[in-house]
Chain A
Amino acid sequence: MMSEAVNGLAKKFNPPEHYYSTQKQEARYKLLPFNFERVGDSYLLTNEVGEYLFLSEGDLHSLVHETLDSQSEVYNSLKSRHFLYEVGSEAAIELLSLKLRTKHAVFRQFTSLHIFVVSLRCDYSCPYCQVSRQTGDADKYDMDEETALRSLDFVFRTPSEHIKIEFQGGEPLLNWEIIKFTVLEAEKINKTEKRDLAFVIATNLTLISDEILEFCYQHDIFISTSLDGPAHIHNRNRPRPGKNGHQIVRDQIERVREKLGPDRISALMTTSELSLSHPREIIDEYLDANFKGIFLRPLSPYGFAVKTRQIEKYDFDRFFEFYQESMEYIFEINEAGISFVEEFSALLLRKISLPYPTGYVDLQSPAGAGISAIVFSYDGDVYASDESRMLAEMGDYKFRLGNILSNTYEEIFFESGLLEILEETLTDSVPECYQCAYKPYCGSEPVYHYATQKDPVGNKALSGFCKKTKTITNYLLDIMENDPAKRKILQSWI
């Protein structure tokens, strides 16, 4: 379009060529930082702030040798997306630095998610359990008031305006009294702190009662639960005495909705080996239960999932087949006019398409462990993440940051070794990550790599985490670039 003459312009107006910069004719441009990787026949280029472009090999060569034709579409796209800039354009550099600051703004908030493990006991006996539930007596595995209070003091030390307290287990409702106590105490503190305070309970719903729901309603508590699919999958994945877990969950979901409102509950699924061959049935289950999306989540390499060797029963390639089959069905559903989202894809799409941070702690660098999210265990131990606690349940205390009853805030952050690990694992400096084209969409996961490779950095060529991000990002980018009908659906998820 650029080189075409413009007809119909009145005499006193200049043609487009008049406004080409003089530098442009000599192709005097400079490169801005970017990474690239071969994908099929072309190259994926990404810059520091997550803008991307696919280039042919020839164009990539021309670009780096500064011989790219300044009248070409590809030159325009590279300029518009800040892969190159023309000498003299201050705006390009200013915009790029603004975007970089925006991308990292999330770290100014520091810790916003605070997980309270109020009991390690559970009425279920899931073989894939990532936290190794206990069946012992209450005294031993439940959080007490002293621990809860000390944890709250810690919580309000965060500079973040937003504080989310999530109650987990085991089954947290087995220690309902301490949840109630913690919520009331937190609200008391917040009368003077005035933060944006939110609560979540992650529960299997068995123990939900009218009293509990009334309290949740009064205190605006969000409920998160597990739903693995239809009865034959859910009950196999999540056994409980009576073998009626599925029925209980489905009934209780409706009960929660009636009391708290339709959008005050969400569900998570875990993919077992059995789940892999039933993508449609699982999605139908979510549709039937009136959820607006599903988070397709593979097993994590922690807890019972490792001990019972569940984790070895499928690899990422098998999971990706399941993911693709699921996505095909999800597209069908959306094409039929029902808006239904795959949440992990939506997270990646946000990272790919938006200038601001998404707040998903598993895909950020520095890693979110400890600094974005922190875990207070029933016994006062403090962990860098949910996964760190899972490791500890397996006897590895690498990511235990201290104990709330004996350590100070400063000791926990500055003397636990946490900051050193976060610094060592920054994707900007880690081998393979620093030059990876997927870096802006990925994150550093020291706990995962430690769990799988006994090294917080890890060899990325062997990393399942790395493979997952790359493969699913490629899958999504391919649709965004080449399939306009499906692209519209993905855009609606962002």
Chain B
Amino acid sequence: MISLYSKACKFFNWEEGAEPLILPVTENPNLPKVVAKKYALVCDRIPGKPSESIASYGAILSRGLVKSPTLNRVIQLSAELSYIKSSDIVRLNPGGGEVRTLFRSDSDHNSILVTERCNSFCLMCSQPPREIDDSYLIEDACEVIKKIPRSTRSLGITGGEPTLLGEGFLRIVRSAARYLPETHLHVLTNGRTFSQRVNSVALKDVGHPNLVLGIPLYSDLPERHDFVVQAAGAFEETIRGIMNLRRDGQNIELRVVIHKQTYARLPELARFIVRNLAFVEHVAFMGLEITGFTKANFGALWIDPYEYRSELDEACRILQSARVKTMLYNHQLCILTPFVRELSVNSISDWKNDYLEKCAPCDRKNDCGGFFSTGFSLEKTSNHISPFISSNRIIPFEEIA
């Protein structure tokens, strides 16, 4: 697991009351002054006799020990952040002594948290909502988007519920549309605000060329979906939101987290999707990440994924027969039926993906969905994990003889 945040970094020579800075990182110490000030220079150690140009960088991040530096705006990175390198983007908050990695150039799973507020309260939320004024995140998001390399393949927008930001949300999407038009933008939203047509029209007017909205749907029955997201009327709003988004030409991904409160009607949900929402781009079934609220509701949510494999199999067959593209996220291949295995994607964000010890000899680890490394996800796993070990091993000559 890779940490994206640390409070253990040491800040040196920052002016009193300095505002947080969002800077792209470079390892090039020879940038012209006028460019250097827009970057954070990362290095293994601060040079003994720093050149004048080094003083021009927006900040200097050292992986190695720093002792009473003469330079300004120096940070000694904690060990967990020592991976930070060129083309990454960091947020440095001298006031709080915080360093946060906002973007990692090596990863295809970068995502920007744009608010912690939410109008749902999902039983298994991995990012429990907070009622706080975090509107500064809008400005930050637009700032990061400007600095992300244009060649980036994909970028996520997540919350909380991003669309609660209203115009702020549109600003962020617009910013991505203008600065990163080739980057796939994936917005995680419950879709409820789009039950008002004016909101889906406004999003269409932004004209992002590469946008997908990931919208969770937990049941074909309104009361069950509402229970899972703990919001009366949510199903009705989400469905109408999806229909409005379709009218306005958006690409939609349906996301279904499977747990004890959702597994039983998976085939019925699949049938409902085929009948009513077959126009979606694809359906993603996801395993449970045991973090956030899932820890609090563990007893109500945990079921060994092996126990629901036949419901999942049937649901996937129903979707596949209607040519609705289906993907399975964060499930281990060994607990799935062969039909479903074909739909599994190794997709847990790289910074929180891991394997168990008993998986070491497995032949299919590279195709496997793996395990979340967050929370208790590694402690509580299926009782049926067993490595695939290929039987067509080359028999040594002596054995044949």
> Residues of A with Cβ closer than 8 Å to B?
1-2, 6-10, 13-16, 18-21, 24, 49, 51, 76-77, 79-81, 86, 89-91, 94-95, 98-99, 353-356, 488, 491-492, 494
CB neighbours of A491 from chain B (8 A) = 317-318, 320-321
Pair count A-B, CB < 8 A = 97
Asked whether B354 is an interface residue with its Cβ less than 8 Å from the other chain, the reply is no
**Interface members, chain B 226-247 (any A CB < 8 Å):** 226-227, 230, 232, 235-236, 239-240, 243
Would A10 and B297 be within 8 Å (CB), given that A80-B272, A91-B236 are in contact?
A: yes
| Distance of A491 Cα from B324 Cα, bound (Å) | 13
Asked whether B276 is an interface residue with its Cβ less than 8 Å from the other chain, the reply is yes
CB neighbours of A355 from chain B (8 A) = 274-276, 278, 322
* Extra 11 A-B pairs, beta carbons < 8 Å, given A10-B293, A81-B271: A8-B300, A16-B224, A19-B222, A76-B268, A80-B271, A91-B239, A94-B243, A95-B243, A98-B243, A353-B322, A494-B321
CB neighbours of A7 from chain B (8 A) = 299-300
CB neighbours of B321 from chain A (8 A) = 353, 491-492, 494
Would A49 and B222 be within 8 Å (CB), given that A8-B300, A354-B322 are in contact?
A: no
Q: Which of B223, B240, B301 contacts A20 (CB 8 A)?
A: B223
CB neighbours of B223 from chain A (8 A) = 2, 16, 19-21, 24
Asked whether B347 is an interface residue with its Cβ less than 8 Å from the other chain, the reply is no
Output the nearest chain B residue to A70 by Cβ-Cβ distance. Answer: B223
Q: How large is the interface on B (under 10, 10 to 19, 20 to 34, 35 or more residues)?
A: 35 or more
A-B contact pairs, 5 of them (CB 8 A): A13-B123, A19-B224, A80-B220, A81-B275, A91-B239
**B275→A94 contact, CB < 8 A:** no
**A14→B227 contact, CB < 8 A:** yes
| Distance of A1 Cα from B266 Cα, bound (Å) | 13
Asked whether B298 is an interface residue with its Cβ less than 8 Å from the other chain, the reply is yes
Closest beta carbon of chain B to A359's beta carbon, Å: 14
Output the nearest chain B residue to A49 by Cβ-Cβ distance. Answer: B275
| Distance of A21 Cα from B223 Cα, bound (Å) | 7
Closest beta carbon of chain A to B234's beta carbon, Å: 9
**B221→A79 contact, CB < 8 A:** yes
**B268→A80 contact, CB < 8 A:** yes
Q: Which of A8, A51, A90, A91 contacts B299 (CB 8 A)?
A: A8
| Distance of A1 Cα from B300 Cα, bound (Å) | 13
Q: Which 3 A-B pairs have the closest CB atoms?
A: A8-B299, A8-B300, A10-B296
Asked whether B119 is an interface residue with its Cβ less than 8 Å from the other chain, the reply is no
CB neighbours of A2 from chain B (8 A) = 223-224
CB neighbours of B220 from chain A (8 A) = 80
Asked whether B101 is an interface residue with its Cβ less than 8 Å from the other chain, the reply is no
Would A80 and B221 be within 8 Å (CB), given that A10-B297, A13-B230, A491-B317 are in contact?
A: yes
CB neighbours of A16 from chain B (8 A) = 223-224, 227
**A99→B275 contact, CB < 8 A:** yes
**B243→A13 contact, CB < 8 A:** no
Q: Which of B236, B272, B293 contacts A89 (CB 8 A)?
A: B236
Output the nearest chain B residue to A20 by Cβ-Cβ distance. Answer: B223
| Distance of A491 Cα from B320 Cα, bound (Å) | 9
Closest beta carbon of chain B to A27's beta carbon, Å: 14
**A21→B261 contact, CB < 8 A:** no
**B297→A13 contact, CB < 8 A:** yes
CB neighbours of B240 from chain A (8 A) = 90-91, 94
**A76→B221 contact, CB < 8 A:** yes
**Interface members, chain B 292-309 (any A CB < 8 Å):** 293, 296-301
**B243→A9 contact, CB < 8 A:** no
CB neighbours of B276 from chain A (8 A) = 95, 98-99, 355
**A9→B275 contact, CB < 8 A:** no
CB neighbours of B271 from chain A (8 A) = 80-81
CB neighbours of B236 from chain A (8 A) = 89-91
**A8→B298 contact, CB < 8 A:** yes
Asked whether B2 is an interface residue with its Cβ less than 8 Å from the other chain, the reply is no
CB neighbours of B274 from chain A (8 A) = 353-355
Closest beta carbon of chain A to B210's beta carbon, Å: 26
**A21→B222 contact, CB < 8 A:** yes
Asked whether B264 is an interface residue with its Cβ less than 8 Å from the other chain, the reply is yes
**B278→A14 contact, CB < 8 A:** no
**B226→A19 contact, CB < 8 A:** yes
Flag B345-389 by CB within 8 Å of A: 1 or 0 each: 000000000000000000000000000000000000000000000
Output the nearest chain B residue to A490 by Cβ-Cβ distance. Answer: B321
Closest beta carbon of chain B to A270's beta carbon, Å: 29
CB neighbours of B265 from chain A (8 A) = 1
CB neighbours of A353 from chain B (8 A) = 274, 321-322
CB neighbours of B275 from chain A (8 A) = 49, 51, 81, 99, 355
Output the nearest chain B residue to A88 by Cβ-Cβ distance. Answer: B236
| Distance of A169 Cα from B202 Cα, bound (Å) | 56
Closest beta carbon of chain A to B96's beta carbon, Å: 28
Closest beta carbon of chain B to A53's beta carbon, Å: 11
| Distance of A494 Cα from B271 Cα, bound (Å) | 14
Flag B313-336 by CB within 8 Å of A: 1 or 0 each: 000011011100000000000000
CB neighbours of B235 from chain A (8 A) = 91
| Distance of A400 Cα from B318 Cα, bound (Å) | 43
**A89→B297 contact, CB < 8 A:** no
| Distance of A18 Cα from B121 Cα, bound (Å) | 14
Closest beta carbon of chain B to A349's beta carbon, Å: 8
Closest beta carbon of chain B to A9's beta carbon, Å: 4
**Interface members, chain B 249-308 (any A CB < 8 Å):** 261, 264-265, 268, 271-272, 274-276, 278, 293, 296-301
Closest beta carbon of chain A to B61's beta carbon, Å: 40
| Distance of A98 Cα from B227 Cα, bound (Å) | 26
Q: Which of A15, A19, A51 contacts B232 (CB 8 A)?
A: A19
CB neighbours of A49 from chain B (8 A) = 275
| Distance of A79 Cα from B223 Cα, bound (Å) | 11
Report which residue of B223, B224, B243, B320 has the largest number of chain A beta carbons within 10 angstroms of its beta carbon. Answer: B223
